Amino acid sequence: MAITQIAPSTHPLAAYIHGLEQGGALLSDSPTNVLEVVGILKSYGIVLDAYATNLKYTAEFQYLQFFPFFKYCNGEVTLAKLLRHWWHDRINYEYAEYCARTMIWHGGGGLAAYVEGADFRQHCQRAIAARFRYDPFIQGLHRIFPEFLLEQTRFSAYCSGLGQFWTIMSEMFLSLSDRYDNGEIQTIGQVVDHIRDGLVAAAATPITYQVSWGRQSYPIIPPEAGLTFLADTAIPYVEAIFFRGTPFPGTVSYNAQAYQIPFDQTEFIYGALYADPLPIGGAGIHPTLLMQDMTHYLPSYLEEIYRQSDRKDQDQRVRICESFQKSMFCVTTAAIQGLAPHGLGTSDPQEQKANRLYLEQWLTRFIKSRLETVNR
């Protein structure tokens, strides 16, 4: 790694900037951090695969179903599955839908631009006409309220796009766990390298979406739309879920006169990198669903780490959230490295200056995050 030739940064988080310039990560390297990150990403990878499967199923097979009672069954409706569902012994797919809706609300990227464009509307009109060909009531409703079914289709498009994104991320995290088990992954730097290489390899993977009736298919996001994994799903996902998020209900007032929520969405700091882990487990807190899902798939070595705490299993969801935040700072490091204007190891002073400005802009967003907390 090249030695930086420009003056030291005066940024409040300058130590992290210099660390990134020298090939480091946002999360400090230690055997415990490696174990936590790999272990939680293994659990997360299993849960993501389930989320992705259901999102893609609902987008394709539950398209414009107004009362999708069995959408969480993935096409396999049995009494045993229904009983587990009613007993809440199941994956909480509601969290996946929350992420899709949050991405729609915050927007950003090519997918957001496409679903507001003329091409998308034309494809939607053909699919809607075919879907309700023999339903004059819905046809009339569509003429009176032309945006209603279009908005439902936008949500389906985001479900499909997010499902495709999560499928790739799930495979990436599970292969990381396999490499760790084989002794190939021993440092946080190697974790970041694995994720960065995976993001780069999948960057141009096309994002497409179509629905079918009978033998006829109707494209909603055709290949010609040019949407890809990195630019149109990964980056908007990081922005919407890692950074902005939505306020946890019950923890702040949604009353506009209380001024507890920023008026400008770009100022939101409720994402995974900022969230206080303590509310996790409370009713109405969306990440609680994710943390609960991950409790079922924790590797034994991570469960043992959690049992060593003073509270044993009593604060497991909180500990999972803390480990999850550590892992997300590793994912963010990989994204920062991959999107840098020049290789962070460059020895050219002009390229170093461009990288320095780029890194300072990133780290400014981390000032109020839990970056320093997870590194204590």
Query: What does the pLDDT look like over 67-88, one tens digit per residue?
Result: 998 899 898 989 988 888 888 8
Amino acid identity of 140?
G
Q: For residue range 153-198, list pLDDT tens digits in order.
A: 999 999 999 999 999 999 999 999 999 999 999 999 999 999 999 9
Q: For residue range 302-344, list pLDDT tens digits in order.
A: 999 898 877 777 788 899 999 999 999 999 999 999 999 999 9
Looking at the chain, the whole-number percentage of residues with pLDDT higher than 70 is 99
Handedness of CA 246, 248, 254, 259 (dihedral sign): negative
In Å, how far are 73, 254, 268 from 260, measured between CA atoms? 39, 7, 11
Question: Which residues, at least 6 apart from 26, have a Cβ–Cβ distance to it below 8 Å?
Answer: 16, 19, 20, 329, 330, 332, 333, 336, 366, 371
pLDDT at position 33 is 96
* pLDDT band per the 50, 70, 90 thresholds, residue 1: low
Beta strands, E only, the chain: 209-213, 216-221
pLDDT at position 111 is 96
What tokens appear for 44 in the block?
């997360």
* Alpha-carbon 43 to chain mean position: 15
Q: What's the helix, strand, coil split of the chain in %, to 5?
A: 60, 5, 35
Segments making up each domain of the chain, as ranges: 27-67+79-184+201-331
pLDDT at position 376 is 87
For residue 10, how many C-alpha atoms fall within 13 Å in the half-sphere facing its CB? 0
* pLDDT band per the 50, 70, 90 thresholds, residue 56: very high
Task: Tell me which residue of 250, 233, 235 sits closest to 161, measured CA to CA.
Answer: 233
pLDDT at position 356 is 96
Lowest mean pLDDT among 27-31, 125-129, 214-218: 214-218
- Token pair 């310039």 is found at 21
Looking at the chain, the whole-number percentage of residues with pLDDT higher than 90 is 77
Q: What's the rounded Cα separation, in Å, for the pair 151 and 94?
A: 19
What tokens appear for 1 in the block?
């790694």
Give φ, ψ of 10 to 5 degrees. -105, 10
Average pLDDT, the chain: 93
Q: For residue range 268-312, list pLDDT tens digits in order.
A: 999 999 988 888 877 778 899 999 999 999 999 999 989 887 777
pLDDT at position 2 is 56
Overall average pLDDT of the 133-146 stretch:
94
Which of 82 and 1 is assigned the larger pLDDT? Answer: 82
